[in-house]
Amino acid sequence: MWIERKALAQEIPAAAGLEIRELCEVLASLGFPVDGVAAREGSEALDVDITANRGDAMSHRGIAREVAARLGQPLTPLPPSAPEGAPLLEVRLEAAACPVYATAVLELGPGETPESAQAFLRALEATPKKLPAVDASNELLHRYGHPTHAFDADAIRGAVSVRWARPGETITTLDGVTRSLATADLVIADEAGPIALAGVMGGDATKVSATTRRVLLESAWFDARTVRATARRHSLHTDASHRFGRGADPAMARIARDLLVLRLQTWCQARLLGAWTAGAEPQRGTAVVLEAGLLTRIAGESLDLPQAAEALQRLGCSVVATAGSLSVLPPTWRHDLNIPEDLAEEVLRLRGYEHIPSALPPLEGPPEHLAPAYLQRQALARRLAHLGFHQTVTYGFISPEADSTFAGPANPPEGRTLANPLGYEYSVLRGSLLPSLVVSAGQNARQGARQIRLFELAPTYLSGPSGPREQATLAVVWGGVLGGEDPFSPARSVQEADLAGLARDLGIQDGPAIHRLAEGLFGFEVSLAALPLPQDRIIPAFRPFSRFPAVERDLSLLVPLGLGHETLRQAMASALPADALQDLRCVDVFRHRSLPEGRQAWLMRLRFQADRTLVGAEVDGWMAAALAAAEALGASLRA
Amino acid sequence: MDQLLPPEIDEAARSFASALAACGDLNALMRLKGAYVGREGSHAARMMDLLKAAPKEHKRELGAQINAYKQQWEEALKGRQTDLESAKKAQDALAAGWDPTLPPPVPAAGALHPLNRLMDRLVDVFRPLGFHVEEGPEVETEAHNFDGLNIPDDHPAKASSDTFYLAAHPELLLRTHTSPVQVRTLLRVAPTLAERGGIRFLAPGRVYRKDEIDPTHSPMFHQVEGMLVGHGIGMQHLKGTLEYALRTLFGPHTEIRLRPSYFPFVEPGCEVDVSCPLCGATGCRVCKGSGWVEILGAGLIHPNVLTYAGIDPTVWSGWAFGMGVERMSMMLSQTPDLRLFFENDQRFLKAMGGLD
């Protein structure tokens, strides 16, 4: 919200002596940080950030009250109330959401909005309408925070009532939009129907124009919740709804009416025909009791209770001190002081948060461990990063098409679709991370990356009867050219087998399906449930190992295509002494049409080691046994 | 003549050239040599046995054929051996007389995502104070995301213009902050809070708000939530903890500043500024000359939040904070565009995320 400096100083003269920087610091320390300062109309306007709970501060007077309380300096007094007279027309308050409605009827004179008021409005980025009744109401809102409205009195038919809208009623608001009203909309109506949306916007039919002769003023108080609901229902967020919606000051109803009358009298020689008020201010809430103990706990040190009382009084509270506590009645403009903690905050705020002491909270129990699932993800991310992979972060929602590529029929997208997505391409909570990684890989490829190594750790979503279930998932994509970037490492393209090896290295049981995602780009995806959890770092039992030399022998076999490596390996291993066989695996594959039909050549490497020196004949015997076991599966020694 | 030798020998002869070409190093070549011309069990040895057993009238012709094969294989093997040896020698020479100005082979290095790395770092910072990590789902209920956090039922954040809802499950939404983890955790530990001696945890994670994608907005971003519940917890404990954490993060001379602010789930509430880590609070572009940068929002847990979870606010009290990970990362790194964090260019990830 814009606060014009000269206007602020009119409300709190002591602020005039502050440097702009000092003023900004005072405001920030009170909870109103200044986002920027702009030179406007020969003065400065401060862009003040006001939190939603402080409707009372959304005006120059409101900010001035805060500065005055901090500086301990007086506010400029408001002009005394003018006497009221008998109602000139009937105003009926038919809903509890509007307990008080101050009004007046004036006959407008020839004068215009003074330049000073126009400059004030322009400094706040508001546009003067050069209609005194409209500009004065607007100027009042920014200066005192109380929204008012002026109707063309001659356009009003019969009595005025404040009531709930009736089914089927409509209103054309000042912005020219005709709106169908809900019965929860509070309206100002004359005998022909609604003439304003209470606290939100006036009606077009009764608006003040250049030809208006007589005006009916409205300075009321409307229930915040009702105004918020109507503003939201009609997507109509106005300066008035903003303030009423955050809680206006009911005591300002009469005062703002008087101020408005005064302005019209001065600006355009308006003649007051009558001023009166329907209803009365709502009862003030009950007092809140602040115990010294609570204040001490929150403040972190024992604070002097009379000083706390004095601080609250400076903010407009009525305070009754008793032994060890304060009974506090907040001022009419504060709707946010409802519990003792709220009052403690006010005491600290006025004193300055910089005075809060600093201490580490004592440990009251043993610290908890990090969860295994969390540690698993940390360890995986680090392992993959050290292996050369880059961790990605992509959006959790993707397009239905992209999702359908990997999600599978058991995971229908309907249960994972957003009701209000940003767009079609972001509408489904993804069943797979791979589509997003393919996009990131493509982007890297277009940027000329020689090798693409990406992984993501994120939830995927599984449709279920009670909503999408989240599954912590790892996906990896790998493509491009390996090596060839130094004199020792030959270049070759990334293969499907590289991903299988990576999956095995990560401890994934039952090698996951390796997808060919694009030309030379492969990937896999696994639920983290399929990965081993990190073991507790207890010290494992010592397992002795041989210190005698190992013997390595190769066996070149012709094996039938279709015979699995694991089958062959197990068959061969079962024919060998388990305590001597250290390793057995295929280390080379040769496929060529020169080989017998339906065969490939595997070079099997066997490694033996035992707690004694192995002799050649012994190993020869094992090799023969291994060969026999292989032959039983249809393999033969390659000649 | 072909009928003199068995077909497997002819096959072996035919496949010799490609097998030779496939030998990438001397070991492989030695294996191939053994298979073709070795003393025992090789193709050559087998042929010699055949020659011995052959009828006299074929011996001459067969001998010539065998010699031709053996000679061809031996020459080719020798040639390949020379090539491989000289290649090895060249490489050994390169290795022995390594010119350190040449680019050496380097192990592959990837990177953690900068956002994850920052979140991990925050966990590391809080671990010595006894904080652990709590996590919660991204798909949440209104109750956990709003009601349990003292957020009024007509709060604008609940509108479908601000929050993503599930089409088939209107009561479910994508969490708009990590604060529902507070609610879940407090509900879970409430019955055993006394035995535990309170609780203190961080909740890092992804959150969603319905913002269009632009240089400063993203519909998905990350937060780190911190919470502590104990006896007699006040603002001084919030300040002390954050002072410790932010000094660990930014250096021992870091100062922090609390300013009053408002969040429905805390009372009192505050914004926390840190003395600008980039310029040492002398004034720069990042702190806009003020020497301070806003780093997180915090406060003492609102009694309604404790009550909702079944914790007596007259016995227990605590503090909570919430921090925007992207915001902090962008500010400290001066990354100009939020979208870079989700594009996942490997160059960006390597430079910004890196490794521990």
Distances (CA, A) of B2 to B6, B18, B62: 8, 21, 9
Distances (CA, A) of B297 to A27, A53, B224, B246: 18, 16, 11, 14
All residues at 6 or more sequence positions from A589 whose CB lies less than 8 Å from its CB, including other chains:
A600, A601, A602, A603
Per DSSP, the residues of B120-167 read HHHHHHHGGGT-EE----SEEEHHHHTGGGT--TT-GGGSTTTS-BBS
8 A C-beta contact, residue A352 and residue A29: yes
pLDDT value at B62 more than 90: no
Mean pLDDT of chain B: 90
**Residue labelled with tokens 């010595």:** B128
Q: Where are the domains of chain B?
A: 2-96, 114-352
Q: CATH 3.30.70.380 spans which residues of chain A?
A: 551-637
Per DSSP, the residues of B180-245 read HHHHHHHHHHGGGHHHHTSEEEEEEEEEE-----BTTB-SEEEEEEEEEEESS--HHHHHHHHHHH
Residue B103 is classified by DSSP as: P
Size of interface A-B (CB pairs under 8 A): 287
Structure tokens of A81? Answer: 């109330």
Distances (CA, A) of A556 to A348, B15, B76: 84, 15, 21
pLDDT value at B345 more than 90: yes
Whether chain A has a CB inside 8 Å of the CB on B99: the answer is: no
Q: Residue A265 half-sphere exposure, CB side, CA atoms within 13 Å?
A: 13
pLDDT at A536: 62
CATH topology of domain B114-352: BirA Bifunctional Protein; domain 2 (3.30.930)
Contact A386 B102 (CB under 8 A): no
pLDDT at B1: 44
- pLDDT digits 0-9 by tens, A127-179: 999 999 999 999 999 999 999 999 999 999 999 999 999 999 999 999 999 99
| B254 band by pLDDT with thresholds 50, 70 and 90 | very high
State how far residue B64 is from chain A, nearest Cα, in angstroms: 21
8 A C-beta contact, residue B173 and residue B140: yes
State how far residue B57 is from chain A, nearest Cα, in angstroms: 27
Which architecture, in CATH terms, is A551-637? 2-Layer Sandwich (3.30)
Per CATH, the number for A372-530 is 3.30.930.10
Q: How far is CA A74 from the centre of its chain?
A: 40
Cα dihedral sign, A84-A86-A88-A93: positive
Per DSSP, the residues of A179-203 read EEPPTT-EEEEETTEEEEETTTEEB
Report the percentage of chain B scoring pLDDT > 90: 58
- Report how far residue B34's alpha carbon sits from residue B28's, in angstroms, rounded to the nearest whole number: 10
| Partners of residue B43 in chain A, C-beta under 8 Å | 639
Which is nearest to A395 in space by CA: A351, A427, A358?
A: A427
pLDDT at B29: 85
Contact B18 A592 (CB under 8 A): yes
Instruction: Give B355 or A442, the one with higher predicted confidence.
Output: A442
**Residue labelled with tokens 């295929």:** A586
Q: CATH 3.30.56.10 spans which residues of chain A?
A: 2-71, 288-354
Do the bridges between strand B266-275 and strand B256-261 make them parallel or antiparallel, or are there none, so unpaired?
Answer: antiparallel
Q: What is the dihedral of CA A378, A379, A381, A383, to 10 degrees?
A: 160
| Partners of residue A419 in chain B, C-beta under 8 Å | 160, 164-167, 170
Mean pLDDT to the nearest integer, B328-342: 91
pLDDT at A539: 79
- Report how far residue A545's alpha carbon sits from residue A539's, in angstroms, rounded to the nearest whole number: 17
Contact A364 B198 (CB under 8 A): yes
Contact B239 A461 (CB under 8 A): no
Helix, strand or coil for residue A260?
helix
Residues forming beta bridges with residue A318, ordered by sequence position: A329
8 A C-beta contact, residue B206 and residue B113: no
- pLDDT digits 0-9 by tens, A59-72: 999 999 999 999 99
State how far residue B346 is from chain A, nearest Cα, in angstroms: 7
Whether chain A has a CB inside 8 Å of the CB on B302: the answer is: yes
CATH topology of domain A91-279: Phenylalanyl-tRNA Synthetase; Chain B, domain 3 (3.50.40)
Structure tokens of B84? Answer: 């491989």
What ipTM, to 2 d.p.? 0.90
- Report how far residue A424's alpha carbon sits from residue B205's, in angstroms, rounded to the nearest whole number: 25
Contact A345 B133 (CB under 8 A): no
| Partners of residue B260 in chain A, C-beta under 8 Å | 29-31, 345, 348-349, 353
Class of the domain covering A288-354: alpha beta
pLDDT value at B327 more than 70: yes
8 A C-beta contact, residue A274 and residue A105: yes
Q: Which residues of chain A have pLDDT under 50?
A: none
Whether chain A has a CB inside 8 Å of the CB on B55: the answer is: no
B197, B231, B262 member nearest A53 (Cβ): B262
Q: Tell me which chain A residue has its CA closest to the CA of residue B13.
A: A594
- pLDDT digits 0-9 by tens, A410-448: 999 999 999 999 999 999 999 999 999 999 999 999 999
Q: How buried is A175 (Cβ within 10 angstroms: 0-12 exposed, 13-18 middle, 19+ buried)?
A: exposed
Within A393-475, residue ranges assigned H as helices are 400-407, 434-446
Whether chain A has a CB inside 8 Å of the CB on B2: the answer is: no
State how far residue B56 is from chain A, nearest Cα, in angstroms: 26
Q: Of chain B residues 100-119, which have a CB less than 8 A from chain A? A: 102-113, 115-116
CATH topology of domain A2-71: Phenylalanyl-tRNA Synthetase; Chain B, domain 1 (3.30.56)
Q: What is the dihedral of CA A106, A109, A111, A117, to 10 degrees?
A: 0
Q: CATH 3.50.40.10 spans which residues of chain A?
A: 91-279
